[in-house]
Structure 1
């Protein structure tokens, strides 16, 4: 966030400077308000570029094996351009190499999911999915597994058909 603020300020100075140079070239024919308007337009353009570029920049830095399964777009009234083209504010990525299964219960899959937000640090969540029933559960303290692969101590969530988390986990190929 600090670097984006600095970039926005630099863009404002650059935009104002360009209008000032243009005014000098035109021998002062531009109105006095043109320089601050040029600086403001440059700052808004820099902010928009940061907003719309965040998702692709962040996605490109994900380690190999990460798969983005869901994005959340945002529209905000004080950013009217977002109504025309919403920007991605959050997304969920699965760490495919972390996929764990049990030989006796291959439909039960455990994977690390990462919740990434524009202005927040990444959060890791370990998720258990039952691909046969379409249920999922966060793995918290108190969950236990038997030698046969049965799970106890979890709060199952009956996901809707097409739930991106269950669909994404069940689409991963088991490597072990």
Structure 2
């Protein structure tokens, strides 16, 4: 975040330098307010570009076998441009390459989900996914893994048939 602040200041200084050049070329006929206006627009432009490119940059840095299963687009009143083109400031990735099948029921997989949010550290949350019954739950010490053919308990959350986590994990493991 410190580097982003430094880059924002330098973007403002660079834009102010362009305004100074315009004033020099116009022999000081261009208004003086152009310098702070260009500085402000330069910093704002850099921040907008940085926020829009954050998701693609982070997703491209994920290791092989970690796939994005959900990207959350956001709109905000203080970012009016986000109503035209929503920003992705959070996303969830699943480590399907290192997912482990349950020894008792091979339709049940333990997978790590990573929650990424702009300007925050990533959080790892272990999840248990039942591929046949299309359900998931949090991994806890008290979790009872159902035997093959047995229904899941009420602690499990049903997933849609086309849920990205289910597709990424279960189709990859079936191969």
- TM-score interval (norm. to shorter): 0.7 to 0.9
1:90 aligned partner: 90
Answering whether residue 33 of structure 2 is matched by residue 29 of structure 1, we say no
Shift of 1:113: 1.1
For residues 157 and 145 of structure 1, what CA distance do their matches in structure 2 show? 14
Flag structure 1 segments of 5+ consecutive residues without an equivalent.
none
CA contact under 8 A between 2:102 and 2:110: conserved in structure 1?
no
Deviations 1:38-76 (A, max 9, x none): 111111110011101111111121112111111001111
Shift of 1:153: 9.3
In structure 2, the CA distance between the partners of 1:158 and 1:144, relative to structure 1 (3 Å rule), is: closer
For residues 170 and 154 of structure 1, what CA distance do their matches in structure 2 show? 21
Secondary structure (helix, strand or coil) at the match of 2:101 reads: strand
Moved over 6 A (4+): none
**TM-score under structure 2 length normalisation:** 0.87
2:20 aligned partner: 20
For residues 130 and 81 of structure 1, what CA distance do their matches in structure 2 show? 40
Secondary structure (helix, strand or coil) at the match of 1:105 reads: coil
**TM-score under structure 1 length normalisation:** 0.87
Give 1 or 2: higher strand fraction.
Answer: 1
1:38 aligned partner: 38
